[in-house]
Structure 1
Amino acid sequence: MTTQDDEMHSSGVSANVEKFWHPFPEPVAVSKGREIYGLAGTPQLVALCSAMHRHATDIVSQFYHGLADLPASKCILDRLTDTEIRYVKSRQARRLRAMTAPALTAADHRLQAIRTGRTHAIVGLNWEDLVRARGVLGEAIFTHIDTAEHGEALCLLSRRMNQDMAWQAEAYQRLQISRHEALQRITLLAWKTESYTDLISQVVQILGAHDEIAGCAVGRPDRQGVFRFELAAGTTIEHYLAGIEKTAPITVGNSSGSQGPTGRAWRSGQVARSLNIANDPKMVPWRAAALPAGFHSCIAIPLRQPGEPTAAILNLYCPMPGALTGADQVAFVSLLQTILGFAIAGTERLAGNTRAVPYTVRQRWSALLRSDALTMHYQPLLDLKTGQVTKVEALARLRDGDRLLTPGEFFPALSSEDFLTLYKRGLEQALSQSHLWLKAGFPVNVSVNLPSSALGDIRYFKVTERALRTSGAAPNQLTLEVLETDAFPLGVDVPQELAKFKALGIQLAEDDLGSGYSTLTRLREVPFDLVKIDRNIVSAVDQDPADTLRFTYQLIQLGHSLNKAVVVEGIEDEGMLEAVVILGADIVQGYAIAHPMPAEQLTEWMACPPSVPDVHAPSTALGTLAAQLLAEARKRLM
């Protein structure tokens, strides 16, 4: 490596320039600010200021001509349009004049220097290249300013410019710290977040707040190959995304076309950039929307595991040309890509691949959740011992115009905050309705799904407690269901957390028993009152009736051995209904009983509930088979 002095000599910097840059062994400290600021009446500085006003334009012209000999600086300048070049030259001239102003204060200078350092860092100018560029600027100053006439003032200027470099270094350091903090927060999210929507919604907020990024969006193509931005952050990003989706939607195909960095990144699996949207011919379709939004360059980062297809694209929009091309910025992008690639793969392993939901749709559905568009439908559960409907499961529906969306459609688009809102509003509706049914002479309890994330979030408990208090419903009218397939948050004492809910006087149910990875220990330790056998188990009866009924019977016996009531879900026909009655189930749920329906319709339906089949006289093939299997099981126990 060469020293700074060697670099100056190699660039043809004269001895006078070297003296200009090194009048003191080290940059002047801020504590000596009184020696170089507050000099409004200094004649020498007044004279230099006047000379700088006369020669600033010529100095800047020579400076930028000299930058052409510095590869890194030339590369940055070559990205700019003629208009941008004129602008940065005028800014440089103003800075030179301000630097020699006798009335310049330390506070004003620091503010200017940090702003300039931020600009240099964002456009990707490495610190070493900035030092080289300053050598070229010093030579230009000595070419046009008489050193004999202004020697003392030039010495003062050199000290100010040394301080300027120190403050610019502060701006570089701030951005570097901000990158590290963003990566730390995103790494933590990658470890603990299980939902794709929750992951990307928080990631875009973190990145959107970073100073080098003016806007951030994540998306995927839909089934037609149209790229859909799903979540975004930034003060102008919503207007930008709405504009391009209307005028120039991005398509992802095999041809390069004018699909921009997003299309190239999706097809190639490699990071793609537009270094300056203003003069990039491949960005013409989106230029009119990008530049007014303050987006001057962009980078598309494919998120994927090594060797796997791209799962999503992270788009970062930068406030200046350059698109994160500095050495530290490239390393930041690479780490970001790796962390999020593995994180998204993890969410897909847990929840499966979800379809792309456009950002505007996500925003609309999120708003609808907080309005009257959210309504609960109810599916009855038939008690096989009494032949009565004593419980209904509340299932969310979302009215979007003429469409009534089911959970399978809108759940994948929800963030953790949306799910909390859904739980709160859905629970309030269900408890209020249960209270109304009770007053109408139908003592029907309601069952509501409790997401596993609720066990690590005290807000769910407080919402439950408040809803019971304000609804007028008795606690024992509520059952909370926890999916067996849900992975509970790390570090959470599940039995203890569920015990808090249990202490409210409610019932607890484990949903979808047999579909996940529950252990006998979990079933024994967690205070569940009932277990629900997964519908996918009984749906296999068409392929293998005997094995399906045997497995169902064993799960019923398991639940009873742990002193739990057993619900069998997914009962779609009379044959399976008769079979599970014979096998000893306590409660059944499914289309053979009733479809989910609005509260008003269910009130009418409950006046004439279906009857329970006679276990002593099976009339269907499945009922007969169940009776035979039960007899065989009892014979083995004798």
Structure 2
Amino acid sequence: MPLYGPAAAVVLAPLFQIFNEHADEISKRLFDNLMRLPRSPHFFQMLSADELEQTQRRQLQYLLRLASPTLSAHDHGVMARQIGRIHAAIGLDRSDLARSPGALWASIRNFITPDTHHGALEVLERRFIRDLALQLDVYQNLQTSRETMLLSLTEVAWKAPTYTDLITQVVETLSDCDEIAGCFVGRPDDVGIFRYESIGGAAMGQYLSELEKSADGAIMANSDSPKGNGPTGRAWRSGNIERSLNISTDPHMTPWEEAARRVGFRSSVAIPLHQPDHPTRAILTLYSASPGAFTASDRVAFTSLLQSLLGFAITRLEALEGKTQTMSHGLRQHFAGLLRGNALVMHYQPLMDLHSGQIVKVEALARLLDGDQLIRPDAFLPAFSAEDLFELYRLGLEQALTDRQRWAEAGHDLGISLNLPATALGDGRYYLATRDALHRHACAGEKLTLEVLEYDAFPLGVDPLIVLSHFKALGVVLAEDDLGSGHSSLNRLREIPFDDVKIDRHTARVGHHNPERVLLFIYQLIQLGHTLLKRVTVEGIEDFDMLEAIAVLGADLVQGYVISQPMSAKQLAQWLRQPRNAPDRTRPVTAYGVLAMDILKRERQRLLAHENQRVAPD
């Protein structure tokens, strides 16, 4: 007997009529029988009265469609896969799914005489079996999809060069999953309000728009407010995965229930991202269009794997770039849009040669013009992805070399210093952009200094000696920036072809510290640089006392407000016309200068005494 078509329709017609006549009774029995399955009560109990009534109607409608004389093989395939996705989403285990045909049979057997409807029951039973097989195929396909997704996310976890790249790629990957209606990664800001740093899925964007209309839309990190007791707030405090099984009936979700209902979010899970026994670094929250989602055993395992994988990824990135500033998704997009919208403006801070008193180079510093406001890098850099950082470098280098040409035509042949981010060492485009820009502007390589931060960890799998040697082949000067601020080994300074080192501004600041100890440390760093045949710049110098002191201690170049604040290219051209002199290293007149001279004498005496002791006969 065929399952579909005219012959099946003739056999099924009487059975279908019985189903319609006893629909209410069958529906009640079906519900009672499903409630006896192991996990079904867990699902039904989380529903509101209206949702429960609607679910019962849909169950009956599905049974009637399954027994319909007009059902085609194609239509059955479509509806079985649809219900399979729903069953998977609500957390119905495969074992319960396998038992569901028995629940259906138990619901209808009291209304049918087997001998009278033998042929129809055979067709219906075979349809049940095919229906179960199709639904189990959906389960398997979803499991395969999750496994593929985890492989993709593993690659992201290992390779994402920045926190922004990580969270962007994570939500993009997850939002492609049919089981996930929307997702976000976020962290609390300084006042404890959660910021949606990256969002995935069209519904998520609508959800945020709905929340913006409500004064209660913010998520808080603390438990003092009802807005801190949803899954996201609880997960941040507990470090455990937290769920809302049904947003419409969960009292903790009251502040967000209306917005969630409007966009079709029915349940959620908040996954705190951290390594075991470490503080939570961020929260990944997933939303589903079905209640009870993310509760089946395979989904529980999936969310646990996400937690471990992404917790590792954030820890890896914090080792590379430190803990980044919390920033909303909208602000990230705004800054990236400014960069690509011709809002980049380079400012320049002069560096003075302490031997000659001449301005020999300037450091190019990026600013974004937002209306009348100039935005500094510490505000926008945390928002940038690796692609944004490359665009910043390319546009900034182009603008700086163009300005340098104008200064040279006016008689000021200055060098340009520019930051080279750690991501550049794993991205060949930086080398090509540098080579092409130098050629396009007919600029000698020695006029360009590329600065690499001391605390930048080099990307995995990258040999910095090889990569930086390529830049050296262009003739550019390489500088290790912020010496004294990080923990890089002396081997790095000795083996990598740096020409210059820059002593960190915080190292050169006395503040509440003992001035003698600060100056002695600066002297030792200068001596270290000179011993390794590096030119030494001290940055962040703000007053003449410290300027004189570092000159006495032997620094080669100085940068800081004592020379000049960063300024536009036009302002720099005017500023360069003013005369200036370096302090006299041999005749200090300030307290710090005199102290530096005393340190210098004592260190020389100590070295001389050590030398005499070494060569003295036994």
Q: Do the two structures share a fold, i.e. TM-score over 0.5?
A: yes
Contact 1:484-1:512 within 8 A present in 2 as well: yes
Moved more, 256-265 or 360-369: 256-265
Within the alignment, does 1:174 sit opposite 2:141 as a pair?
yes
Match of 1:409 among 370, 373, 379: 379
Using structure 1 for the length normalisation, give the TM-score: 0.87
Letter in 2 for 1:244: L
Q: Distance in 1 between the 2:505 and 2:221 partners?
A: 38
Matches within 5 A, 1:235-254: 235-247=202-214, 248=216, 249-254=218-223
Change in Cα spacing, 1:608 to 1:145, as seen in structure 2 (3 Å) is farther
Change in Cα spacing, 1:537 to 1:252, as seen in structure 2 (3 Å) is closer
Match of 1:530 in 2: 500
Within the alignment, does 1:560 sit opposite 2:530 as a pair?
yes
Q: Distance in 2 between the 1:254 and 1:291 partners?
A: 24
Match of 1:147 in 2: 114
Q: Distance in 1 between the 2:478 and 2:139 partners?
A: 54
Match of 2:234 among 260, 264, 270: 264
Change in Cα spacing, 1:584 to 1:541, as seen in structure 2 (3 Å) is farther
Match of 2:197 in 1: 230
Match of 1:595 in 2: 565
Q: Distance in 1 between the 2:292 and 2:331 partners?
A: 32
Matches within 5 A, 1:2-17: none
Match of 1:545 in 2: 515
Using structure 2 for the length normalisation, give the TM-score: 0.89
Within the alignment, does 1:394 sit opposite 2:360 as a pair?
no
Paired positions, count: 604
Matches within 5 A, 1:44-193: 44-45=10-11, 47=13, 50-51=16-17, 54=20, 57-58=23-24, 59-100=26-67, 104=71, 106-193=73-160
Within the alignment, does 1:329 sit opposite 2:299 as a pair?
yes
Give how far 1:570 is off: 1.8
Contact 2:270-2:283 within 8 A present in 1 as well: yes
Q: Distance in 1 between the 2:364 and 2:487 partners?
A: 25
Moved more, 605-614 or 180-189: 180-189
SS of residue in 2 equivalent to 1:363: helix
Runs of 5+ consecutive residues of structure 2 not aligned to the other structure: 612-618
Letter in 2 for 1:396: A
Q: Distance in 1 between the 2:518 and 2:475 partners?
A: 35
Match of 1:279 in 2: 249
Within the alignment, does 1:420 sit opposite 2:386 as a pair?
no
Letter in 2 for 1:62: R
Contact 2:9-2:70 within 8 A present in 1 as well: no
Within the alignment, does 1:616 sit opposite 2:586 as a pair?
yes
- Deviation per residue, 1:426-481 (Å, 9 max, x gap): 22222222222222322122111111121112233333344444455444432211
Q: Distance in 1 between the 2:465 and 2:351 partners?
A: 26
Give how far 1:614 is off: 1.6
Within the alignment, does 1:574 sit opposite 2:544 as a pair?
yes
Change in Cα spacing, 1:469 to 1:329, as seen in structure 2 (3 Å) is same
Contact 1:36-1:160 within 8 A present in 2 as well: no
Give how far 1:169 is off: 1.3
Match of 1:311 among 266, 269, 281: 281
Q: Distance in 2 between the 1:588 and 1:391 partners?
A: 11
Match of 2:167 in 1: 200
Contact 1:47-1:150 within 8 A present in 2 as well: no
Change in Cα spacing, 1:90 to 1:549, as seen in structure 2 (3 Å) is same
Contact 2:13-2:69 within 8 A present in 1 as well: no
Moved more, 199-208 or 325-334: 199-208
Match of 2:614 in 1: none
Give how far 1:148 is off: 2.6
Give how far 1:342 is off: 4.5
Change in Cα spacing, 1:351 to 1:505, as seen in structure 2 (3 Å) is closer
Q: Distance in 2 between the 1:453 and 1:567 partners?
A: 24
Q: Distance in 1 between the 2:504 and 2:452 partners?
A: 12
Moved more, 182-191 or 573-582: 182-191
- Percent of counterpart pairs with the same letter? 49
Contact 1:219-1:314 within 8 A present in 2 as well: yes
Q: Distance in 2 between the 1:589 and 1:137 partners?
A: 81
Give how far 1:541 is off: 7.5
Q: Distance in 1 between the 2:73 and 2:428 partners?
A: 49
Q: Distance in 2 between the 1:575 and 1:133 partners?
A: 85
- Deviation per residue, 1:320-348 (Å, 9 max, x gap): 11131111112222232334345434544
- Deviation per residue, 1:588-610 (Å, 9 max, x gap): 11111111112221111111153
Runs of 5+ consecutive residues of structure 1 not aligned to the other structure: 1-34
| RMSD between superposed Cα atoms in Å | 2.8
Contact 1:485-1:515 within 8 A present in 2 as well: yes
Match of 1:482 among 429, 452, 476: 452
Change in Cα spacing, 1:43 to 1:562, as seen in structure 2 (3 Å) is closer
- Deviation per residue, 1:118-147 (Å, 9 max, x gap): 111111010111122221112224334443
Moved more, 328-337 or 104-113: 104-113
Give how far 1:270 is off: 3.4
Contact 1:432-1:471 within 8 A present in 2 as well: yes
Structure 1 segments (4+ residues) deviating >6 Å: none
Contact 1:124-1:322 within 8 A present in 2 as well: yes
Within the alignment, does 1:451 sit opposite 2:421 as a pair?
yes
Change in Cα spacing, 1:52 to 1:400, as seen in structure 2 (3 Å) is farther
